[in-house]
Structure 1
Amino acid sequence: MGQHMRVDLIDTAEGFAALREQWDAVYAADSFARYFLSHRFLSGWLPTLGTQWLVLAARGDRRKDPYQAFFPLRLGSVRRPDGHYVNEVFMAGNYSVDYTGMLTEPTVERSAVSAFAARLKQMHWWEINLDYVPAGDRRYHDLAAHFPRAVFGIETEERVNKRDGVNNLVCPWARLPNSWDSYLDQLSANTRQKLRRLLRAFEADPEMDIIFPSAESFDGDMERLSFLWASKWAARKGEARTRTLLKGSAALLRESFSIGDLFMPMLRRNGRMVVGLASFLDRQKKAAHFYMTGRDETYEGASPGLLLHAWSIRHLIDQGFVSYDFMRGDEPYKWLFAGEQLDLQCLRIATRSQKNLGERLDLRSLPVVVEGATALHRKGRVLQAATAYKQVLAIEPDNVNALYRYGQLLEDNGDYTGAGRLYRRLLTNHPGSKKAWLRLSNCLAHLGHLTAASDASRRGGVGASIH
């Protein structure tokens, strides 16, 4: 039997910042941990999720015990066709980064997983998405084992691109020795000769250079890299998705640049970018994670992408880095450099009822659900909007936006009694709401309560009597 652990829920920037020292210690001890689970990365990433994130933090029973495990999560809300909302739980980094998961010290692994499972069962969700976690890490199957099959379904999913057959659950990576020559010895003879030839040609060409972005040039460099990436992928991914992907990538890379974790060499010919690479540097674990590239497809020189990867690996070896990770996708060119692979997995834990545990919404999702209900309301989808508003009020009966907007919906559809009841509840806590008084006045007038309607109208700032 492992030790009993308590789980605290951290969901504020201040609370997360206070975890830094303990988080770094657990991160260093967890052999499966990658950069996107570091406190350094998450400090910039979590605030972009608004209020839809939380961290489960596990420690011993005593309050003074240090935290020994962390599980960063993101909350999602899904609307069913009838307007009913349910919640999903995602890994905090999904789906903008390649690696996700939990962190634990090895000595408390089983105890932490058991504690996380118990805490998750107390939350309100219909599905947990354990996407892009290491396949060789038993913690996720151990976690799933805590959810009985009579109540929960457990599924695995593949991530093979149907168009090109690329398996996005395979991550090639290169182990970096302490010298460039030793690294080359790991490669095939043909690749070794090709990389040496490319580097010699580059070093002999006065028209070519490799530079890094500065604070002044970063935005322009990022724009050029994005343009080159889009020139290859926009037709395949579509304009809208391309814009979304590039906006998210630019935000990630800008944050990484601001804290000194971005490695972005750019190969230029006569001052114009031919190809650029962007990688995240995990300085704690001495690992580089290649993220994106953009290449000028009109350039006719020999293999600029291979050249820049080779130059980057040589440079990083000189800086003491021990791995160069190509991350998700087993494209053939990656195997020219990589001799190792990390396999990932995607697991689903879902309630068989397809309803939230406890049949209620997670409190954090209420603002999202109110806005979703409002959008339905504006589109005239009255029944679906009413369903969502009622879900919110079942949990938070005094939610101002839900009371007012659901009242509007009922009023607009002739239910003056129901609408009036909602406006009165709103006014109990917010008696200064002139709009609510005027709405209530209108409902009372339609119900024939003219004196009460006139009084409500005056309180709403309108002096005329209602006849």
Structure 2
Amino acid sequence: MEAFALETLESVGSLRAEWDDLLARCPGSPLFRTPEWVLTWYEVLADRFRPLVLAFRESGRLIGLLPLARRRDGRRIEFAGEALASGDHLGLVARAEELDRLWDAAAGLLEPELRRARVLRLAMLDRGPEVEAARRAADRRGWTVVASAGIEAPVARLPSDPEDLLRRLRKKRRADVRRRRRDLEQREGAAFSTITGAEDVGTGLEILFALHAARWRSRGSEGTLGDPVKRRFLGTFCRSAAERGWLRLHVCRARGRPIGALLAFHRDGTASYLQSGWDPEFRRYGVGELLVLFGMEEAVREGLRWFDFLRGDEPYKARWSTETRTLVTLEAACRLPGRAELRLRALASGLRRRLRARLAGDRRAEGGR
């Protein structure tokens, strides 16, 4: 097996056709490991990160790809596509049976890098075989490794009939959702539509950005889409996604104007729900939840198998999901400064957890009295 590193955007881009071919041989590979997501991220964040892509060939054929990035300050190596863009389900692009030997080969390439950078941060890995393979590779080299407790990422296995989505809810909740959708359509003249074409991306994203900001302003916050760099990333990626047929920007209009928008991507049997926003004036209708239902119904009609809510344990996700995946962050170091940083961070994290537990216990005791 040949293992090598690519360190420029041009050299990484030259692998695009092989990258697509590799993804086709790895069913279920997430949206966030595609060249569209990763190359857009490298391009938009070029002033903060430098590419470091580890590639693996066997008999001349690409069998694995690990998209990483060096921070410009040189202190850390991490997954491409996570910082700012909030990509989930990150990791190696490879077949499951190749994970152990490819992570071991990756660790061999990364060891010299970690003599210069303090920490390797692998965020938003799916708990399971890949986390175990990465950890074994680090342990074999005697690296210090710290793992996070994990973040929930709810998903829904989609039925074959859109009507079955509502049947999953409790009877009272099901009746409430139906009533709110009927009232929104009859009283406000609401209608749902979907933007899929690259020519409409600019208009659609302006709607999303405005409604996202309005929703969060009503809660005294700015939301997550105010950053102009993040907006540029989404604009560029959405155009690429539209060209591939992945874009689904669902919009709800009422009283002659947009009142809600939900951004999702349909790829390889999965709908990935990235962002949404709605007009607080229509809060009583629960426009956000109605958009989620519409997005799930459209995914069912297209024959998709999964609706991925991505990271976060918000209550509405629990209502619609059928299972939960866990996203884990591994951090590793092989030199004293990095090892010390990780150990201090782990100690501080443990102290915070114990303090929160003690405060929660004190509050329960006070409530009991």
TM-score (ref. length: structure 2): 0.78
Give, in angstroms, the shift of residue 127 of structure 1.
0.5
What does 1:363-402 correspond to in 2, within 5 Å? none
Give 1:353's aligned residue.
Answer: 336
Return the match for 1:119 from 91, 106, 109. 109
One-letter identity of the residue aligned with 1:312: G
1:288 correspondence with 2:265: no
Partner SS for 1:259: helix
Measure the CA separation in 2 of the matches of 1:39 and 1:152.
30
Q: Is the CA contact 1:253–1:262 (under 8 Å) kept in the aligned structure 2?
A: no
Alignment equivalent of 2:11, drawn from 8, 15, 18: 15
Offset, 1:38: 1.6
CA distance in 2, matches of 1:240, 1:191: 28
Shift of 1:75: 0.7
The equivalent position to 1:49 in structure 2, one of 45, 51, 55, is 45
Instruction: List aligned pairs for 1:438-449, cutoff 5 A.
Output: none
Residue deviations 1:393-441 (CA, integer Å, cap 9, x gap)? xxxxxxxxxxxxxxxxxxxxxxxxxxxxxxxxxxxxxxxxxxxxxxxxx
Aligned-pair Cα RMSD in Å = 3.0
How many residues get paired? 329
Alpha carbons of 1:352 and 1:44: their partners in 2 closer, same or farther (altered >3 Å)?
Answer: closer
Structure 2 residue matching 1:348: 3-state secondary structure: strand
SS state at 1:243 partner: coil
* Contact kept in structure 2, 1:36 and 1:42, CA below 8 Å: yes
Q: Distance in 1 between matches of 2:218 and 2:180?
A: 30
Return the alpha-carbon distance in structure 2 between the equivalents of residues 230 and 70 of structure 1: 37
Take 2:105 and 2:236, find their aligned partners in 1: how far apart are those partners?
36
Q: In the TM superposition, what is the alpha-carbon distance from 1:21 to its structure 2 partner?
A: 4.1
The match for 2:363 is none
**Closer, same or farther: CA 344–237 of 1 in aligned 2, 3 Å:** farther
Gaps of 5+ in 1: 79-85, 160-168, 357-467
Aligned mates of 2:288, 2:124 — CA distance in 1: 26
Q: 1:312 aligns with which of 281, 287, 295?
A: 295
Structure with the higher strand share, 1 or 2: 2
Q: Would the alpha carbon gap of residues 19 and 152 (structure 1) be closer, same or farther in structure 2, given more than 3 Å must change? A: same
Give the direction of change, closer, same or farther, for the CA distance of 1:254–1:264 in structure 2 (3 Å limit).
farther
Distance of 1:235 and 1:300 partners within structure 2: 10
Alpha carbons 1:29, 1:106 under 8 Å: kept: no
Pick closer, same or farther for the CA change 1:235–1:102 going to 2, 3 Å: farther
Contact 2:225–2:231 under 8 Å retained in 1? no
Q: 1:131 aligns with which of 123, 133, 136?
A: 123
- SS at 2:281's partner residue? coil
For residues 103-128 of structure 1, give each alpha carbon's deviation from its aligned partner in whole angstroms, at most 9, with x where no partner exists.
Answer: 21233222111111111113232210
- Label 1:332 to 1:195 Cα distance change in 2 as closer, same or farther (>3 A): same
Greater RCO (CA < 8 Å, at least 6 residues apart): 2
The one-character-per-residue Cα deviations of 1:128-158 (angstroms, maximum 9, x if unpaired) are 001111012x333332333359963211224
Q: Secondary structure of the residue that 1:298 maps to in structure 2? A: helix
Counterpart in 1 of 2:319? 336
Give the Cα–Cα distance (whole angstroms) in 1 for the partners of residues 325 and 318 of structure 2. Answer: 13
Bigger radius of gyration among the two: 1
Deviation digits for residues 164-206 of structure 1 (CA, Å, limit 9, x no counterpart): xxxxx10111111221123334333334333333444455457
Match status 1:143 vs 2:131: no
SS at match of 1:328: coil
| Cα deviation 1:305-342 (Å, max 9, x = unaligned) | 11111122112211122211111101001122111111
Matched, 1:266 2:251: yes
Equivalents in 2 of 1:236, 1:196: separation in Å? 26
SS in 1 for 2:291: helix
- Which secondary structure state, in structure 2, belongs to the residue aligned with residue 71 of structure 1? strand
Q: Quote the Cα distance in structure 2 between the aligned partners of 1:337 and 1:345.
A: 23
Q: Name the residue aligned to 2:364.
A: none
| Residues 1:154 and 2:145 are matched in the alignment | yes
User: What does residue 321 of structure 1 align with?
Assistant: 304
1:66 is matched with which residue?
A: 61
Is it true that 1:104 corresponds to 2:100 in the alignment? Answer: no
Identity %: 23
Shift of 1:69: 1.0
The match for 1:163 is none
Matched with 2:71 is: 76
Q: Residue by residue, what CA displacement relative to the aligned partner does 1:200-221 show, whole Å, maximum 9, x if unpaired? A: 4455457222234466654344
The answer to whether the 8 A contact 1:222-1:250 is kept is no
Distance verdict in 2 for CA 1:254–1:193, change over 3 Å: farther
CA distance in 1, matches of 2:257, 2:218: 24
1:77, 1:350 → 2: CA distance?
18
Q: Which amino acid aligns with 2:105?
A: A
Taking structure 1 as the reference length, what is the TM-score of the superposition?
0.63
Whether the 8 Å CA contact 1:91–1:101 is kept in 2: the answer is yes
**Distance between the aligned counterparts of 1:203 and 1:236, measured in 2?**
26
Secondary structure in 1 matching 2:87: coil
Q: Which moved more, 1:332-341 or 1:147-156?
A: 147-156
Contact 2:154 2:313 in 1 (8 A): yes
AA aligned to 2:290 is: L
